[in-house]
Amino acid sequence: MAESVVTTEQVDGLTIRKASVDAAYFAQVAGVAAVYVLAARAGLSLDAVSGFASLVWAPTGIALAAVLLAGRRIWPGVFIGALIANVITGAPFLVAAGIAGGNTLEAVVGAYALRRVPGFQLRLDSLRDVFALIVLAALLATMISATIGVASLYLAGLTPQANVAETWRTWWIGDAIGALLVAPLILVWAAPPRTPLLTHRVGEAAILVLGLLVASLIVLTLSVSWGSPLSHAYVFFPLLMWAAIRFGQRGAITATVLVSAIAIAGTVLGRGPFVQPTLHASLLALQAFMGITAATFLVLGASISEHDRSREQLRAARDVARDANRAKAEFLAVMSHELRTPLNAIAGYAELLSLGLSGPLNQKQSDAVTRIRTNQQHLLALIDDVLSFARIEAGNTPIKPGPVPVCETLDSLEALLRPELAREELTYIWNGCDRSLVARADPIKLRQILLNILGNAIKFTPPGGRIELSAHHSGDRISICVSDTGIGIPAEKIGRVFDPFFQGQTGTTREYPGVGLGLSISRDFARAMGGDIHVESAPHQGCVVTIDLAAGE
């Protein structure tokens, strides 16, 4: 329906409402009609069957694109354009009106069917949209115009019964190719692109166009004696693939239409691999080939666009996850730092109480203070793990690798572990190593790695068990091994022991305390120093943790 503008006017004290038709709407209708007439005259000049069915029929694509872009309200432009074109060609008015009605209904039904596809986009940059265009608009809706048009010609006696099938086939193929080539060209250039053409690709686009022109002129305008269409017409396919891959749907359809236009011109002039004894047969061979080509590269262009869009979505999701991870790490770092302050105060006051500065303590009070200090130290160790993990995730952990004497570092561990070993009644075995062993590592981080791994061994080894420490050369690498006779790790959980916060046991009744960060932090430190950590274990058979480091000088 035409849009209108409502105005009011006072006449003899009465308010008169007047509606004036929007001039812009009339301009759109007239523009569509004019373009339709010009395109129709060009198509009908190319050996039209029965005078009205052409294998080259751009008006179908123009009408479909117009209705999709401007809405059903633009249908009068299609009808008027088709009516004028057929009258000029020589059709009686009623026959021309019947053909125009079929042309209009074809465009309206095709556009309606596409709009009913969930999420249909005019960019045609998804496989769903392209397949909908091919099946609903190009293959099915075009049957409406072919059927009504041929029926109008037959009933008026302009097409004999013997020519009905040939006329219908020609009409339908011409309309289908128009829907496959012309409509997508208009739609993809009318719709705003998801990503603009980058400046540095303008030169590439110019080279591509030049390549298409040269290849098309060589292949599609050579004399017929040069060879068969299937053996030579595919020469420009790599260029069409280049257009689709580098420039998406716009590049794919624009390049295809350019090749099609040159091919039609060459075929009409009697040159190229599609030339047959008659112009109609030549155009039929050409349009069948271009229809398959158009559908193929529409699908390829949509596939490339979907791939690019998925990649952008993944990149955006990665950026969001990275920002969220950074915010989490910063929060953990701040909270861990703030929690250390009151814990240090608790440790200080517990120390003062244990020294008796506020008065002597009886045995029960002394035991209570000892428990306070023990739990404060345990909680502080947990917070240190969280703080270390947060710093690693935020990228704020400096690593200063250098030559580290392995034996000296391992010698110093027993004194630190002795209280825990004694409390758990464990046997600790360290027989020393080659004094020439030197690893390239950060000494502070290496010590933390060793204490984390040995701490795990102590925690998960039952009383009476054994923990053994060893170190040796392994080619140009240094291997430090910690083995125990603990509870071991099930095979299905081996791959997760380095995951942050992973615990072999879950729930609030876990037998073994901790937050599950020790191994994760240790592996991150080891990898930051150019090494790694490997775990071998089985249930009830203990565990062997190997720290792999580069040998130092």
> What's the pLDDT at 35?
95
Give pLDDT tens digits for 234-257: 777 888 888 888 888 888 899 999
* Tokens linked to 195: 């990503």
Rounded percentage of the chain residues whose pLDDT exceeds 70: 84
Do strands 438-441 and 466-474 pair parallel, antiparallel, or not at all (unpaired)? unpaired
Residue 43 included in any domain: yes
- CATH of residue 127's domain is 1.10.1760
How far apart, in whole angstroms, are the C-alpha atoms of residue 262 and residue 236?
12
Residues 222, 271: contact at Cβ < 8 Å?
Answer: yes
Structural contact between residues 188 and 294, judged by C-beta atoms closer than 8 angstroms: no
Please tell me whether residues 352 and 387 are part of one structural domain. yes
Helix H or strand E encompassing 477: strand 477-484
Residue 177 has what pLDDT?
94
Is the domain of 390 the same as that of 408? no
Amino acid at 102: G
Q: How many CA atoms lie within 13 A of 515 on its CB side?
A: 16
pLDDT of residue 307: 84
The answer on 6 and 60 residing in a single domain is: yes
3-class DSSP state for residue 458?
helix
Q: Are residues 324 and 412 in the same domain?
A: no
Is residue 514 scored above 70 in pLDDT?
no
Identify whether 217 is part of a domain: no
**Does the pLDDT value for residue 15 go beyond 60?**
no
For residue 524, is pLDDT > 90? no
Same domain for 534 and 386: no
358: CATH: 1.10.287
Structural domain ending residue among the three candidates 369, 394, 419: 394
350 shares a domain with 482: no
pLDDT at residue 2 in the model: 46
Looking at the fold, whether 416 and 492 belong to one and the same domain comes out as yes
Shared domain check, 454 and 373:
no
The 3-state DSSP composition of the chain as helix, strand, coil percent (nearest 5) reads 65, 10, 25
Q: 365 Cβ partners below 8 Å, 6+ apart?
A: 353
Cβ neighbours for 336, distance < 8 A, ≥ 6 positions apart: 383, 384, 386, 387, 390
Domain boundary among 394, 426, 460: 394
**Do 426 and 365 fall within a single domain?**
no
Same domain assignment for residues 359 and 486: no
Give me the percent of the chain exceeding a pLDDT of 90.
Answer: 30
Position 16 confidence tier, pLDDT thresholds 50, 70, 90? very low
Confidence of residue 1 (pLDDT cuts 50, 70, 90): very low
Asked if residue 511 has pLDDT above 70, the reply is no
pLDDT category at 215 given cuts 50, 70, 90 is confident
Under the banding of pLDDT at 50, 70 and 90, the label for residue 476 is confident
| Helices and strands (H and E) in the chain: how many | 17, 9
| Of the residues 156, 172, 192, the one at which a domain ends | 192
Domain that holds residue 60: 1-192
Least Cα distance to 487 among 508, 470, 511 occurs for: 511
Query: Does residue 238 lie within any of the structural domains?
Result: no
The candidate with the shortest Cα–Cα distance to 103, out of 39, 161, 162, 190, is 39
Does 309 map to a domain? no
CA 165-105-74 angle, 5° bins = 140
More confident residue, 169 or 285: 169
Is 15 a member of any domain?
yes
Give the DSSP letter string of 416-431: HHHHHHHHHT-EEEE-
- Model pLDDT for residues 186-198, shown as the tens digit of each residue: 999 988 776 665 6
Is 224 a residue whose pLDDT tops 60? Answer: no
Higher pLDDT, 227 or 327: 327
Reply yes or no on whether the pLDDT at 502 is more than 80: no
CA pair distance 447, 436, nearest whole angstrom: 19
Give the angle 393-399-405 at the CA atoms, nearest 5°.
Answer: 135
Do 380 and 517 sit in the same domain of this protein?
no
Of 521, 273, 234, 230, the residue nearest 399 (C-alpha): 521
Stretch among 9-13, 154-158, 473-477 having the lowest mean pLDDT: 9-13
Residue 61 lies in a domain: yes
Nearest CA-CA partner of 411 in 393, 440, 441, 433: 433
Give the Cβ contact number of residue 57 at 10 Å: 31
Give a yes or no: residue 221 inside a domain: no
My answer on whether 387 and 433 are in the same domain is: no
Query: Is residue 289 in a domain?
Result: no
Taking the C-alpha atoms of residue 146 and residue 52, their distance in angstroms, rounded to an integer, is 11
* pTM, full prediction: 0.62
Total domains in the fold of the chain: 3
**CATH assignment at residue 443:** 3.30.565.10
Secondary structure element (H or E) that encloses residue 232, with its range: helix 229-232
The CA-atom distances, in angstroms, between 496 and each of 57, 388, 455, 500, 535 are: 64, 19, 19, 9, 11
Where are any strands of DSSP class E within 319-390?
A: none
Question: 27 is written with which tokens?
Answer: 């301009």
